[in-house]
Amino acid sequence: EAPLSTIGAAFVAKVLTVGEQTVTLGIWDTAGSERYEAMSRIYYRGARAAVVCYDLTNSSSFQRAKFWVNELQNCEEGCRIYLCGTKSDLLEEDRRKRDVDFHDVQDYADEVKAELFETSSKTGQNVDELFQKVAEDYVHFTAFQEMTEEKGVDLGQKSSSYLYSCCHH
Ligand X SMILES: Nc1nc2c(ncn2[C@@H]2O[C@H](COP(=O)(O)OP(=O)(O)OP(=O)(O)O)[C@@H](O)[C@H]2O)c(=O)[nH]1
27 touching ligand X, by CB under 6 A: no
The DSSP code sequence of the chain is -PPPPP-SEEEEEEEEEETTEEEEEEEEEE--SGGGHHHHHHHHTT-SEEEEEEETT-HHHHHHHHHHHHHHHHH-TT-EEEEEEE-HHHHHH-GGG--S-HHHHHHHHHHTT-EEEE--TTT-TTHHHHHHHHHHHIIIIIIHHHHHHHH---TTSS--SHHHHHSB-
Q: Nearest approach, Cβ of 21 to ligand X (angstroms)?
A: 30
Which segment (76-84, 86-94, 144-152, 156-164) binds ligand X by CB under 6 A? 86-94
126 touching ligand X, by CB under 6 A: no
Q: Please identify, using beta-carbon distances, which residue of 62 and 143 lies nearer to ligand X.
A: 62
Q: Nearest approach, Cβ of 14 to ligand X (angstroms)?
A: 17
Residues that bind ligand X (CB under 6 A): 2-3, 5-6, 31-33, 86-87, 89-90, 120-122
